[in-house]
Structure 1
Amino acid sequence: MCLELIMQSNSVARPRVSLPILAISSILLYSLLICGKFYEAMAADLSFSAAQVVMSGVRDHLAAVAGLISAAFAAIALLFPSVLRRAGTTPLRALMTVASAMLACGAGTLPRLAGLLPDEAVQGFLTDGAVLLVVCLLLTFEGLLLLAARPSRGEARPASEAASAVACMRAALFLFMLAEELSRSFLPLYTRDLYTPVAGLSETLMMGLPIGLFMFLVAVFTPFAGAWADRFGSRRTLLLGTLPAVAGFAGTAMAGSLVELLLWRSACALGYAVMFIGAQGFVARHTPADRRARGMAQFVAAVIVAGLCGAPLGGILADQFGYRATFAVSALLALAAVAAVTLLPADRVERVQRHPFRIADARALLANPRFLALLMFSSVPTKLMLTGYLFYLVPVSLHAAGETPAGIGRLMMTYGLIIVLLGPWVSRVADRTGRHALFAGLGGLVGGAGTLAILQEQGVAGTLIGIAALGVAHAFNNATQLALVPEVCRADCARMGESSVFAVYRLLERGGSVIGPLLAAALADRFGIQAALVALGVLGMLCGTAFCAVFLLAPSASPTAGEAAR
C-alpha cells in the first residue's frame, strides 16, 4: 500500500525550495543521530575526557560533510532549477533524490567513524547507521506525501480539496501514532523503574499492567469516540479528545510512582481511541466512494510507518537522553498532531442512526460456531501475541540478554517491515483466490511455530526469529480475518447490519490485546521469561491448528450454519 501511495502522479509542491529543505533537514537529523550513536559506542571504550576529544573531531567532520551536501543542493536549486522540478514530479522521484543525498552523507561519514571504533562495536554501529537511514527516509516520505497533496490544476476543486484534507489528516495521525510508538521498546522497563512492592503483585506482573490497562481503555473508549465523531464531527472530536493525550505523555514523563503512570497512560488511551476512530471517520467523510479504498490505505499506511519509525527512534532517544525525555518528545509530537488537526477543514455532521451496542448482539454472534472459532482461534490469539509477545516479552527478554532500548527498537522494526512488504501481496492473492481461511490458518501456524524458535536458538537470535515469524503471521492474518467476518456472519449482517457486526467483532477481538500482556507477565512471573515465550508459542500453534481444523478440514457448506443451530 505504501508503494501505491508513493508512486502517485501528483508533483511535490515547489520542489526547487521544498526538496533542498527536506534534504538538508534529513541530513542534519541523520548526522545528529549518528553522532549520538557514535558517542555511545565510543564512551563505552574510552574515558569521558578521551571520548570528548574524539567527539570534537567527529562533530567537525559531520558538519563538513553535511555542509558540503547542503551547499551542493543549494547550488543545484540556484543554477539548475529544472533538475529539481523534474525530481519533484512524483513523490517517488523526490524520495530517490533525497535518498541519494543521504546515502552520500552516510558513505562520507560511516566508514571513517567505524574506523575509530573497536572491532567489536563496528558491526552494531553500521547496523544502527542503516536503520537510522531508513527511519529518516520514512520521515521524509511523510513530508513528501503531504507536499504532493496540494490541489492539482487539472483536477476538480472538490476532489483536490478532499485529497489535501486527507493528506493533512494523515500527517496528524502519523505524528500522534509516532508519539505513542516511541515508547514501544522500553515501556515495561520504565514501569519496572517505578515499581514499588505491592502485596500480592510481583514486579513482573506490574510491568505488564500499563500495557493491559491501555488496551482495555482503548477498547472501552472506542465506541464512545465513534459516537462523538458522528455527533460533533471528526475535527472537533479530535481537538477535544487528543489534548488529554498530550497531558498524558507529559505526565508519564514526570510520573513518580506506578499509580501516576497508570493514570497518565489512561489519558493517552483516550487520545489513542479518539485519534484512531476520528481519523478513520474523517477519511471516510472526505473521500468519494470511488476513492475510499485509497483513502483508507493512507490511514493504514500512516499507522504502519509510525510503527516502523517509532520503536528504533524511541530506543535511540531513550539510550541518549533517558526514558522521561523520550516521553517529553512524545508530548511534543502529540501537540504537533493537535496543531495539524486545527488545519483540517470542518467536516459536516451527519445525523446518522447508530445501532447501539447491545449484549444481545454479542450473544447472537457468539452463538454462531464459525464466528466463535474465528474469534477464539485466530483474531484473539493474534492480538494476544501482539501485546503479550511483541510488546511485553520481547523488550523484557532482549533487555535481559543485554540489548539496549535502541537495539530492542531496531529488532522490533523487523515486524513492521515484513508486514509492509508482505501484507499487500497476501491481500491480493487471498482476494484473487478467495482462500481467506487458508491464509488466516497459515498465519496462525507460522506465528506459533516461529516463536518456538527460542527452543533451538537462545537469546537474541531466537527472539529475532520469533519477531520475524510474528510479522509474517500478521501479514497473513490482518486482512484475511476481516474478510472472513462477513463470510461467516451473512445472516447476522443482514439482520444487524455489517457495521454493527464489525463493531461487536472489534470489541471482542480487543480482549486479546488486554489479556496478552497480563498473561505473559503471569507466565514470566511463575515460570520465567524463557518459559513464557515458549508457552505463548505453543498457544499460538494450538489455536492455529484448531482454526485449520474448523475452517479447512471441516469447511461448512454454508457460512450461516450457526444460524440454523439457533
Structure 2
Amino acid sequence: MAWATCADETMNADATTRPARRRHPLRDVLLACMLVLLLSQALIGALSLSALDRLAIDNTAERVELLAGQTSAQIQTGMRLGKPLAQYFGLSEMLASLRQRIPDLLGASVVLSGGQVVASVGDGLQTASLLKALRTRGDAGMGVVRSPSGAVYQTDAQGIMVAVPLMLADADMKGAVVLQVRQQNMKNSALMTHNLGVLAISTLGAAILLTLFFRFVIPLYELASASRARLFAPLLILLLAQGLYAAYTIHTFRVVWVQVTRENTEVLGRGLQHDLDRVLGFGIAPDHLRGVEQPMARLAASFPVISELRLLGADGKILNRANAHGAMPAQVSSVVGDDSLVFPLKARPDGPEIASLQILPDKTLIAQGVHARILDAATVVAVALVAAIELLLLLTLLMDRAFAVPVRTSSGEPVGLDDSSSVGSLVRPVMFGFLFALALPLSFLPIYARSLLPDGGSGQGAALLVALPIAAEMACGLLTALLAGRLIDRRGWQFPVLTGLLIAVAGNLACAAAGSLITFILARGLVGLGYGLAWMGLQGFVVIRSPAAYRGRNMASVVAGLFAGHLSGAAVGAMIMQQLGFSAVFVIGAVLLALPAVGVLTLMWPYRHLPGQHEARSAAAPAVRSWVTLRKLLATRDFGMLLVGCIIPFSIAQVGLLTYALPLYMDAQGSSVASVGRILMLYGFCVIYVGPYMGRMADRSAYKKYWIAAGGLVGSIGLLSLHFASGILAAAIAVVLLALASCLAGGAQTAYMLSLDHVQNYGAGAATSVMRAADKFGQMLGPLLVGGLFASVGISGGLAVTGMLYLVATLAFMAFAPRLGRR
C-alpha cells in the first residue's frame, strides 16, 4: 500500500515536472502548405485532364459524324431518286467500305426511324436512345449530346456511338446511319502523359520554393504574427505553379483543336479526291469537268470550317470554285495561305499529277473554335483559383493554430486557440465545402427534371412541372430554417449542422437513384432540409462565438465562402456531368459532403461545449410573438414594404433566373451546360469580390434606402434586357446586373431594417428571422412563378414579366417606404 502511494506520488511529480510535448510549428505550417498545394494542383489537374478527355471524345465524335454524313448523303441521293430505304440495295457494301476509312470502327448500321435494322456490319448496336433523340429534336436525353448539324452521339463503356439522320425534302426523318467506334484511351496517350508531366514538374517546383521560403526567408516570429507576407508568398508561389500549368493546358487545347480540325478536313478532302480521281480515270480532262461545283459545295456545307474549295489545273490556274452556297467565279488569284490543304489528282494511281484539289479553311470559324477551347481552359483555371484562395485562407487559420498556446477553462471552453473577432474564418472553409458539394448539379437541375418526364418535356405544363424540384428544395429549406433555432437552443449548433449534412447526403443519393419526377422532387426536398439545418447551424455558431461588434464582418466572410463554393461547384458539376452523366454528379456530391463534416469535427469541434447558447435564439429563430403583433409588423409602411418591395422580389428573380430559367434559356439557345456553369461563376465573382466594397460604401452612406432602390432598378433592368436581346452575352449581362443588384442592396438591407422603430419595438432578432423567412419564401416562389410564366408566354416573355414585376415592386418601395437618415 505504501509502495503504491509512493509510486502514485512519483508519477504525479513526473507529470508535473515533465515538459509538454514538443511542438514543431514550422513543420506543421510547411506540411499544411504542402497539403494546400497538392489539393489545389490535384483539382486543376483533374479538371484539365477531364476536359482533355472530353475534348478527345468530341473530336472523335466529330470525325465519325463527318464520315457518317458522307454515307448519309449517298443514301439520301438514292432516296430522292425513288429508292425506298427499306429495300435499298448496296447498303452493306457502303457500310463495309467504312471499315477501311475508320480503323477503330466497331459496328455500323442503317436503321429505320422505328428502329428496324436495314443493313449492318460488325457489332450489333443499341440505337433506341439515339433514335428517340433524333425524333424529338428537343431535349436530347440523358447521356446524349446533340451537335449543331443535327446528329447525336453518346458515350458508354463500349465506345462512342454517332447517329446521323436520313431526311427527305419534307423534313421527315426516314431513318439514320449509326456508327460506333472504339473510344481512345487518353490515359495512355502521349498528350495525357505530357500533361501529367508538366503538372508534376510545376507542383514539385512550387513545393521546393515553399520549403526554401519557410526555411530560410521568413523569420519564425513573422510567421507567428498575422503578417501579409506569410499569406502573400504562398499565394504567389501557388499562382505561379497554376499559371504555368494553365498556360500549358491552354496551349494544348489550342493545338489539339486546330490539329483535329485539320485532320477532319483531310478526311473529307480524301473522299472527294477519290471521287475526282475516278472521274479523271475515264479520260475526261480537268478543264472539261461539268457540274463539279455541286459535290464541292456539298462538301463545304457538310463541314462549316471549310470556307472554299478550288479545282486547279496542272499549271496552277483555277478551273472551278465553290463554297457552301454553290459555284463561285473562277477569276481570282490562286495564291493562298499556308493553312490550305492541297490534294493531288491523278487519272491513274501511278500516273502524273494532272490537277489538284485545294481546300481553304474559314479562319474566322477556326479562331472562334480556338477561343472556345481557350475559354474551357480558362474556366478550369478560374475554378481552381477560387478553390486555391479558399484553401489558402484555411492555411492561415492552420498557421494561427500552429503557433497558438490554448488552454481550457473549467467549463471546457478553449482560450487562446482562435481570435474571437474572426470566428468566421472557422466557418468559411466548412461553408465552402458544403456549398461546393451542393452546387454541383445546379447548372442542369431543370434539364434533368425535364428528362424524367414521360414525354421528355414536350407536353402541356412541362415548364411548371420541372420547377417543382427547385420549389420543393426551397420550401424545405424555409421549414428547417425556421425550426433550427430551437434545435440550437436545446442541442447546440453542432446538432443541426451534422444532422443537416447527413440528410443532404441522403438527399443527393436519392437524386441519383430517382427514376421519376415525383421521386426527384422528394429527393430535392431532402436536400433542402439538410441545407436549411446546416446553414442555420453554422450561422448560429457565428452568432454564439462572435462579439456583437464583429458579427457583420464574420457573417460576410461566411457568405463569401458560400458563394465561392457555389460558383466553383456549379462549374465543376457541369464538367463532371458532361464526362460522367447526371447521376454521377449527385453521387460525387454526396461523397464530397464528408469534407465539411471533417471541417466541423476538427476546426469547430473545440467549441461544442460553450455556455450562453441562448444568444443564438435572437438570430437563428423567431422570438415568441403573437400573430397579431407579427401582422402589425408586416402591415407597416417601412418593414412591410421592405419585404414586399425588395426582399421577396429579389429572391424570386435570383432563384427564378439563376437556378431555373438560366439552364433552360441557355439550352434553348443551343449552349452547353458548361456555359451555364461559366455564367453562374460571374454571379459568384461579383458577390465575392465586388460585394464587400459596395457594402462598405453603403455603410458610409446616410440613406440606405437609395442603395436598396438602386439594387432593385439594376436587377429589374437585367431581367428586362433578355426580352430585347438574346444569346449567351445577353444572359451573362443579365446575371451580372442581378449580381450587382445583390451587391448594392445586400449591404444596406439589414442596416435599414434595424434602423426602423417598428423593428426595434418588435425585436431586432425576431424581425431578422422574419426577413430571412421572407427571403426563403421568395426563393420557393421564384421557380413556380417563372415556370408558370414560361408555360404561358415563353422563356423571354416570362423573364420580361418577372423583370417588370421586380421593377414595379422597386418603384413601390421607393414611393411608400420612408427615407431614414443615419442613426
TM-score normalised over the length of structure 1: 0.89
Q: Which structure has greater strand proportion?
A: 2
Q: What is residue 68 of structure 1 aligned with on the other side?
A: 201
Using the TM superposition, name which of 50-59 and 269-278 deviates more.
Answer: 50-59
C-alpha contact 2:647 2:771 (8 A) present in aligned 1: no
Q: Does 1:124 align with 2:264?
A: no
Q: Does 1:545 align with 2:678?
A: no
C-alpha contact 1:255 1:261 (8 A) present in aligned 2: yes
Q: Which structure has greater helix proportion?
A: 1
For residues 740 and 696 of structure 2, the distance between their equivalents in structure 1, rounded to whole angstroms, comes to 15
Q: CA deviation at 1:223?
A: 1.8
Read off the aligned partner of 2:46 and give its amino acid letter.
L
Read off the aligned partner of 2:432 and give its amino acid letter.
F
5+ long unaligned stretches in structure 2: 1-24, 64-159, 161-180, 224-228, 259-365, 408-414, 618-622
Q: What is residue 635 of structure 2 aligned with on the other side?
A: 367
CA 1:54–1:457: 2 relative to 1, 3 Å: same
Q: Name which of 149, 157, 172 aligns with 2:430.
A: 172
Q: CA deviation at 1:397?
A: 0.4
CA 1:165–1:483: 2 relative to 1, 3 Å: closer
Where 1:52 maps in the other structure, the secondary structure is: coil
Q: Does 1:243 align with 2:512?
A: no
Q: Name which of 543, 556, 563 aligns with 1:304.
A: 563
Q: Does 1:183 align with 2:441?
A: yes
Q: What is residue 503 of structure 1 aligned with on the other side?
A: 769
Read off the aligned partner of 1:493 and give its amino acid letter.
Q
Q: Does 1:110 align with 2:253?
A: no
Q: Does 1:277 align with 2:536?
A: yes
Read off the aligned partner of 2:536 and give its amino acid letter.
I
Q: Name which of 426, 431, 434 aligns with 2:702.
A: 434
Q: What is residue 516 of structure 2 aligned with on the other side?
A: 257
Q: CA deviation at 1:179?
A: 1.4
Q: Does 1:207 align with 2:221?
A: no
Using the TM superposition, name which of 210-219 and 136-145 deviates more.
Answer: 136-145
Q: CA deviation at 1:20?
A: 3.5
For residues 242 and 272 of structure 1, the distance between their equivalents in structure 2, rounded to whole angstroms, comes to 7
Read off the aligned partner of 1:90 and give its amino acid letter.
R
Using the TM superposition, name which of 337-346 and 217-226 deviates more.
Answer: 337-346
For residues 218 and 559 of structure 2, the distance between their equivalents in structure 1, rounded to whole angstroms, comes to 30
For residues 27 and 301 of structure 1, the distance between their equivalents in structure 2, rounded to whole angstroms, comes to 22
Read off the aligned partner of 1:115 and give its amino acid letter.
V
Q: CA deviation at 1:357?
A: 5.1
C-alpha contact 1:250 1:327 (8 A) present in aligned 2: yes
Q: What is residue 527 of structure 1 aligned with on the other side?
A: 793
For residues 159 and 438 of structure 1, the distance between their equivalents in structure 2, rounded to whole angstroms, comes to 43
Q: What is residue 140 of structure 2 aligned with on the other side?
A: none
Q: CA deviation at 1:234?
A: 0.7
Where 1:483 maps in the other structure, the secondary structure is: helix
For residues 371 and 272 of structure 1, the distance between their equivalents in structure 2, rounded to whole angstroms, comes to 27
Using the TM superposition, name which of 338-347 and 223-232 deviates more.
Answer: 338-347
Q: CA deviation at 1:457?
A: 2.2
Where 2:670 maps in the other structure, the secondary structure is: coil
C-alpha contact 1:182 1:311 (8 A) present in aligned 2: yes
Where 1:528 maps in the other structure, the secondary structure is: helix
Read off the aligned partner of 2:577 and give its amino acid letter.
A
Read off the aligned partner of 2:215 and give its amino acid letter.
S
5+ long unaligned stretches in structure 1: 1-10, 560-566
For residues 549 and 701 of structure 2, the distance between their equivalents in structure 1, rounded to whole angstroms, comes to 23
Q: What is residue 184 of structure 2 aligned with on the other side?
A: 52
Using the TM superposition, name which of 374-383 and 502-511 deviates more.
Answer: 502-511
CA 1:22–1:367: 2 relative to 1, 3 Å: closer
Q: What is residue 454 of structure 2 aligned with on the other side?
A: 196
Q: What is residue 690 of structure 2 aligned with on the other side?
A: 422
For residues 83 and 26 of structure 1, the distance between their equivalents in structure 2, rounded to whole angstroms, comes to 24
For residues 27 and 549 of structure 2, the distance between their equivalents in structure 1, rounded to whole angstroms, comes to 25
Q: CA deviation at 1:84?
A: 7.5
Question: Aligned runs of 1:421-500 on 2, under 5 Å?
Answer: 421-488=689-756, 490-494=757-761, 496-500=762-766
For residues 333 and 514 of structure 1, the distance between their equivalents in structure 2, rounded to whole angstroms, comes to 26
Q: What is residue 562 of structure 1 aligned with on the other side?
A: none
CA 1:14–1:154: 2 relative to 1, 3 Å: closer
For residues 437 and 201 of structure 1, the distance between their equivalents in structure 2, rounded to whole angstroms, comes to 43
C-alpha contact 2:489 2:613 (8 A) present in aligned 1: yes
C-alpha contact 1:30 1:136 (8 A) present in aligned 2: yes
C-alpha contact 1:38 1:125 (8 A) present in aligned 2: no
Tell me: higher relative CO, structure 1 or 2? Use CA pairs within 8 A at least 6 residues apart.
1
CA 1:85–1:555: 2 relative to 1, 3 Å: closer
For residues 403 and 188 of structure 1, the distance between their equivalents in structure 2, rounded to whole angstroms, comes to 15
Read off the aligned partner of 2:708 and give its amino acid letter.
A
Q: CA deviation at 1:492?
A: 3.8
Q: Deviations over 1:538-557 (max 9, x none)?
A: 22222222222234xx7479
CA 1:128–1:447: 2 relative to 1, 3 Å: same
C-alpha contact 1:20 1:73 (8 A) present in aligned 2: no
Flag the structure with larger Rg.
Answer: 2
Read off the aligned partner of 2:190 and give its amino acid letter.
G
C-alpha contact 1:12 1:147 (8 A) present in aligned 2: no
Read off the aligned partner of 2:760 and give its amino acid letter.
C
Q: What is residue 572 of structure 2 aligned with on the other side?
A: 313
C-alpha contact 1:232 1:349 (8 A) present in aligned 2: no
For residues 477 and 423 of structure 1, the distance between their equivalents in structure 2, rounded to whole angstroms, comes to 10
Q: Name which of 602, 609, 622 aligns with 1:347.
A: 609
C-alpha contact 1:284 1:295 (8 A) present in aligned 2: no
Q: CA deviation at 1:210?
A: 0.9
Q: CA deviation at 1:370?
A: 2.0
For residues 62 and 352 of structure 1, the distance between their equivalents in structure 2, rounded to whole angstroms, comes to 55
Q: What is residue 273 of structure 2 aligned with on the other side?
A: none
Q: What is residue 479 of structure 2 aligned with on the other side?
A: 220
For residues 84 and 286 of structure 1, the distance between their equivalents in structure 2, rounded to whole angstroms, comes to 36
Q: What is residue 6 of structure 1 aligned with on the other side?
A: none
Read off the aligned partner of 1:178 and give its amino acid letter.
F
Q: What is residue 513 of structure 1 aligned with on the other side?
A: 779
TM-score normalised over the length of structure 2: 0.62
Q: What is residue 234 of structure 2 aligned with on the other side?
A: 94
C-alpha contact 2:633 2:758 (8 A) present in aligned 1: no
Q: CA deviation at 1:288?
A: 3.6
Read off the aligned partner of 1:111 and give its amino acid letter.
H
Q: What is residue 587 of structure 2 aligned with on the other side?
A: 328
Q: What is residue 137 of structure 2 aligned with on the other side?
A: none
Using the TM superposition, name which of 388-397 and 332-341 deviates more.
Answer: 332-341
Q: CA deviation at 1:161?
A: 3.8
CA 1:16–1:172: 2 relative to 1, 3 Å: closer
Q: CA deviation at 1:99?
A: 0.9
C-alpha contact 1:365 1:372 (8 A) present in aligned 2: yes
Where 1:263 maps in the other structure, the secondary structure is: helix
Q: Does 1:26 align with 2:40?
A: yes
For residues 590 and 712 of structure 2, the distance between their equivalents in structure 1, rounded to whole angstroms, comes to 36
CA 1:547–1:32: 2 relative to 1, 3 Å: same
Q: CA deviation at 1:401?
A: 1.0
For residues 185 and 776 of structure 2, the distance between their equivalents in structure 1, rounded to whole angstroms, comes to 52
